[in-house]
């Protein structure tokens, strides 16, 4: 299969999901109010707990975007705004999040960095308040395994992305290794208390969202995190 970046590394990366659209997405079920409570607690320590450890993936995602002057980017789950200074000043960035404490941190960072190309909004990722085909790139860093309805969020991301634009997920997904995936299914109801589901099935997610991964790359250390790039079909 020809990919966006010239090679198909899905099998090499160890992410070969269940039948698209039919597999269980996750063993863990959460609601928005639960997620908000978790991230209200995490807001003050998020940068310390998840900043340096996951930053290599953030840098790689920005590199993969290959942003051009004037590109419009939607960051879904902007959190404390840890990414916002990474974007070129020539791009236009909108960051959304449902957590007010996280957004307060992001707004403080925005003011400190004096970033005139970034705006921040409180919004539910499952009901994006943007017109169809608004953005060139729609990016969800460490978000899709947090939300109650990941497939719905992915469909919304596809909707607001222009035809030919890119939908990008940076996240941990269910392992293809049967033993590891069984453990991930077992611990997922516990890991939601620290902000993510350990067992989100990538291929099932993409199948339900009507997306195809053009490129999958392992990032961070240990390499249990994946940078997944999809291109919106021009007919969508």
Query: What does the pLDDT look like over 39-60, one tens digit per residue?
Result: 788 888 888 888 899 999 999 9
* Domain spans of the chain, in order of start: 32-231
- pLDDT tens per residue, range 176-223: 999 999 999 999 988 887 778 899 999 999 999 999 999 999 999 999
Condensed to tens digits (0 to 9), the pLDDT of residues 87-132 reads 999 999 999 999 999 999 999 999 999 999 999 999 999 999 999 9
Q: Is the pTM of this model over 0.75?
A: yes
32-231 to CATH, choices 3.90.730.10, 3.40.50.300, 3.30.230.10, 3.40.50.150: 3.40.50.150
Q: Compute the distance between CA of residue 133 and CA of residue 123 in angstroms, rounded to an integer.
A: 18
| CA angle (85, 95, 170) in 5-degree steps | 80
How far is it, in rounded angstroms, from Cα 57 to Cα 129? 28
């Amino acid at each position: 299969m020809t990919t966006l970046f010239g090679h198909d590394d899905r099998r090499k990366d160890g992410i070969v999901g269940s039948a698209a659209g039919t597999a269980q997405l996750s063993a863990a079920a959460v609601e928005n109010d639960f997620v908000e409570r978790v991230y209200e607690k995490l807001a003050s320590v998020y940068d310390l707990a998840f900043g340096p450890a996951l930053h290599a993936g953030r840098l790689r995602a920005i590199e993969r975007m290959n942003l051009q002057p004037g590109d419009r980017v939607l960051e879904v789950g902007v959190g404390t705004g840890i990414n916002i200074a990474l974007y070129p000043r020539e791009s236009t960035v909108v960051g959304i999040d449902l957590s007010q404490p996280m957004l307060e941190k992001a707004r403080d960072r925005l003011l400190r960095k004096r970033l005139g190309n970034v705006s921040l909004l409180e919004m539910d990722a499952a009901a994006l308040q943007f017109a169809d085909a608004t953005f060139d790139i729609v990016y969800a860093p460490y978000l899709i395994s947090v939300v109650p309805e990941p497939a719905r969020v992915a469909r919304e991301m596809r909707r607001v992305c222009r035809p030919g634009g890119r939908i990008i997920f940076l996240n941990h997904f269910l392992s293809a290794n049967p033993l590891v995936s069984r453990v991930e299914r077992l611990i997922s109801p516990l890991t939601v208390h620290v902000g993510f589901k350990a067992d989100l099935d990538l291929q099932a997610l993409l199948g339900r969202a009507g997306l195809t991964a053009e490129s999958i790359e392992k990032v961070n250390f240990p390499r249990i995190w994946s940078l997944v790039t999809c291109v919106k079909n021009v007919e969508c």
